[in-house]
Structure 1
């Protein structure tokens, strides 16, 4: 029997970090929780727990926030895509977060363009969770923060070193000898960053849950990929599978793949074992292992499937 317990992370077993990023003390952002599910993630804190460290070619993480809690403006060197597991979320972007915005509901997905500062906040009435996919095994080498975020954090005791590590002056910590503060982006660098409007971003970067349900009526909907609903080549592909498009056939991949239910319970069978996944659970399937996923109960059922590709985990690819 093939035991995959160490490759399944249950929603109820997720270990949060409340000191993951530079805005952990900043009012309005100090109640957020960061989760690193697969890969090292981009946390700046040694307190961050990594659930599965096996390289996949991409990272899987999550952010959990109570109502009105905000994640500050930042950017990554590689792709960042989110789907909403629970709650109602407003995403905003631009130098000051005012260039554009979109509201996402449960099941919606947003493949955020690289090269722009982005942030998000829970605008629902309960604690909410969004799941993240980050390109590359090293997730692009960290986070780039808007200058005002670094300045605000310093006013509340957190200093980010040029080594990418956080130091909490409230705990008596200071920058080690030879380590300088993370430099602020220059006016010239900031001026080169695009400020796309909502109308420019939405068509090729946001997919709505019910649209994907309609498209996945016979075969899985290719959401992110060169020929996907959201055309991109960020080093991974994302498929959306429903009860109508789930296959009974056993299949395998030449690299690890990830299953993430968003609605309903899913039974996963493989050569030597079986399990049931619920929304919020994450399962890593080893390369070469034949498996299948099907809804295990009646009712609504939807699942995100992620697998790496040979494409470089670089900036968002724009179709010709």
Structure 2
């Protein structure tokens, strides 16, 4: 693989292209300043103009959300796994039908494997622009977003209508539902009963891992964060590992399946037979199966990285309350 071919498989943080109208709450006050990024795979964006950096999916999708202080993403659910880690800032995650069932504050580097089937939302409660990185299960990320009914209702007051085809239409721009396409129906009260309302005490022990705990656990070997034997035990169609400075030797290795590298802190030297490059915080690198390569911090100081590896587990409902 030539350096140019490898570079085509790396999405640099500085090259990320945002979409500001990716979802139905894009005009709703409090949510109207957020930016969404689709890095690997089509994700779950509802906007036709969402830029996709790498379309080939490794069995899961990678995305990101960037938000200024005070900006929130509205209550929604997914049919497959949704995992976030905080790249920058301080974030409040909250969940439940009305967002009042539970909550916690995530700091930089913390990771949250959200239980499938609950309504969840998040907001930047820090003082600067924040960024969270997302891993979504399945090649099609579960087919889309399930919104809490009030989110769809509120959005209509600000001109956005979601079609049952999963696409957004902005009536303020003269857009209307195409012939034969009905609005996305609201969930009924009976359907809403199927969405759990777990408490904070039920969620945090089995679904949240803190950055500094992972740094300690990864001192001599990679720390399995999400997996059948992970700190957070789950099988969502991928595994997540956490690496720090002393986790792996600077010798070649390879996997027989897709691997995605997502640096959190420090600069990481990626080397393969015909080249080398440096991965920086916020970059995303898609390593193809069977490629011999090595990975090591390129400078002194704090270094950490999340590694996502495809598995043969089906990307169905996961992240169950354990």
Q: Counterpart of 1:90?
A: 92
Is the 8 Å Cα contact of residues 231 and 318 (structure 1) preserved in structure 2? no
The correspondence of residues 112-261 of structure 1 with structure 2, limited to 5 A, is 112-261=114-263
Deviation at residue 255 of structure 1 after TM alignment: 1.8
Deviation at residue 295 of structure 1 after TM alignment: 0.3
Quote the Cα distance in structure 2 between the aligned partners of 1:301 and 1:113. Answer: 29
Detail structure 1 runs of 4+ shifted over 3 Å in the superposition: 317-320
TM-aligned CA distance change 1:24 to 1:319, over 3 Å = closer
Structure 1, residues 217-237: CA drift from partner, whole Å, max 9, x if none? 110000000100000000000
TM-aligned CA distance change 1:319 to 1:112, over 3 Å = closer
Deviation at residue 318 of structure 1 after TM alignment: 4.7
Deviation at residue 10 of structure 1 after TM alignment: 0.6
Q: Counterpart of 2:72?
A: 70
Give the root-mean-square deviation of aligned CA atoms.
1.0
Structure 1, residues 238-273: CA drift from partner, whole Å, max 9, x if none? 000000113222111112210000000000011211
Q: Counterpart of 2:2?
A: 2
Larger mean CA deviation between 241-250 and 125-134 belongs to: 241-250
Quote the Cα distance in structure 2 between the aligned partners of 1:317 and 1:38. Answer: 21
Gap runs ≥5 in structure 2: none
Gap runs ≥5 in structure 1: none
- Does residue 1:22 correspond to 2:14, yes or no? no
SS of residue matched to 2:243? strand
Quote the Cα distance in structure 1 between the aligned partners of 2:320 and 2:146. Answer: 22
Structure 1, residues 64-104: CA drift from partner, whole Å, max 9, x if none? 00000000000010000000000000000000000000100
Is the 8 Å Cα contact of residues 81 and 319 (structure 2) preserved in structure 1? no
Provide TM-score, normalisation by structure 1: 0.98
Provide TM-score, normalisation by structure 2: 0.98
The correspondence of residues 42-53 of structure 1 with structure 2, limited to 5 A, is 42-53=44-55
Quote the Cα distance in structure 2 between the aligned partners of 1:79 and 1:166. Answer: 23
